[in-house]
Amino acid sequence: MPTTITENLISWASDLEDGARAQALRTSRLPILAGPVALMADAHFGMGATIGSVVATRNAIVPAAVGVDIGCGMIAAETNLVAGDLPDDLGKLHGLLRDRIPAGIGQGHARGEGTEPPALRELGLPAGSASELSSRQKAKIAAQFGSLGSGNHFVEVCLDEGDRVWLVLHSGSRGIGNELASAHIKAARLVAGEEGQVLEDRDLAWLSEGRPEFDAYIADMLWSQAYAWANREQMMDVALAALRKVVHKALTVTRINCHHNYAARETHRGEEVWVTRKGAIRAGGGDLGVIPGSMGAASFIVKGAGNPLSYESCSHGAGRKMGRNEARKQFTGHSLKEAMGDRTWDDRMASKLVDEHPGAYKDIRQVMADQADLVEVVHELRQVLNLKGT
């Protein structure tokens, strides 16, 4: 059950650092809110707004609350395989995934004109900024479609409690989503100055319905969310094809694709509002979702309980308990190798992935316990293979 911090801020997080609490309190005092800000069980300090926060706003939206990786989220595919179908050595599969799914900052595919995947051609260009996109940005849209990115983005092979094989993937709208979001966040600050918005944090600047800046942002945001969704689908297709190269009988049983950095028009408490989930997934009654732990911890397939107090939302993962710089000081490549145990991964990159050390994240089991009234666990997944970029 949640804790009431103020009448405009409730929290499911049993572990909430002071910085995140203060940041969320600033958001909770916005005059455009349509209800209390809800902090999820993995809430922690973020750029712009608290990661793991759900914000309902009336006739307005805060671009920085959505964040710069618009549409970031998870996709998971349950297969017909069991652990015994996998080869003893997963090195070949790891190599195929690494070769076919570009991973890392700025990495993408070398694509010539007319070679875009059909899903990308269907998306077109972001309507809000289409006339202003540079040739470099258009090339980035094509090149980075079907690529992973860096940080906590990953591809994993997992086993559930019945030893069924799953593929799990985390990624978003890549460089183009970041650039579009950054431009609109800057525009919102300019609008805030024109309108005389009283802000405790300039990143809480909002755009109101009826302004052309609002329409442009919504168009680009929805496009970025669609790009991120299709990007995950594209990579999952590639990952499943790689799995079939190693185990020829691999087939998909279930696919789950969900955003955890996004905004949508929804009805809550009898009112149509904009719901922004930054580091949170929709958990309406019966909704299936994916909640990952760190690269050395369990992940979960969940079913939403539809709790109205959280605007039918739940956490998006374990949530960081320390920043990347602090993690680099606290941990070593050697300790990361120890934490990864016998999983198949590129341990040659251990020193570059120290900021993703499991110790830098909150305890995913505590996070799941804290939100028992928001979701039901359907499957618990354990990783046997992990792929990340740097």
Give residues with Cβ within 8 angstroms of 86, minimum separation 6. Answer: 93, 157, 165, 246, 247, 384
CA 378 – CA 157 distance, rounded (Å): 18
Q: Count of CB atoms within 10 A of residue 104's CB?
A: 17
So what's the pLDDT on residue 47? 86
What is the domain partition of the chain in residue ranges?
3-321+361-388
pTM, two decimal places: 0.97
The C-alpha atoms of residue 104 and residue 115 are separated, in whole angstroms, by: 22
74 HSE (CA, 13 A, CB side): 26
**Residue 316 annotated as catalytic:** yes
| Cβ atoms of 279 and 52 closer than 8 Å | yes
Find the length of the chain. 390
pLDDT given for residue 115 in this prediction:
80
What's residue 113's pLDDT?
72
Q: Which of 44, 153, 260, 316 is catalytic?
A: 316
Where is 98: in which H helix or E strand? helix 91-100
Per-residue pLDDT of the chain (390 residues; tens, 9 = 90+): 899 999 999 999 999 999 999 999 999 999 999 999 999 999 999 988 999 999 999 999 999 999 999 999 999 999 999 999 999 999 999 999 999 999 999 999 988 777 889 999 999 999 999 999 999 999 999 999 999 999 999 999 999 999 999 999 999 999 999 999 999 999 999 999 999 999 999 999 999 999 999 999 999 999 999 999 999 999 999 999 999 999 999 999 999 999 999 999 999 999 999 999 999 999 999 999 999 999 989 999 999 999 999 999 999 999 999 999 999 999 999 999 999 999 999 999 999 999 999 999 999 999 999 999 999 999 999 999 999 988
Instruction: Name the CATH superfamily, with its identifier, for domain 3-321+361-388.
Output: tRNA-splicing ligase RtcB (3.90.1860.10)
Asked if 302 contacts 376 with a C-beta cutoff of 8 angstroms, the reply is yes
Neighbour-count burial for 359-372, b at 16+ CB within 10 Å, e otherwise:
ebbbbbeebbebbe
- pLDDT given at position 215: 98
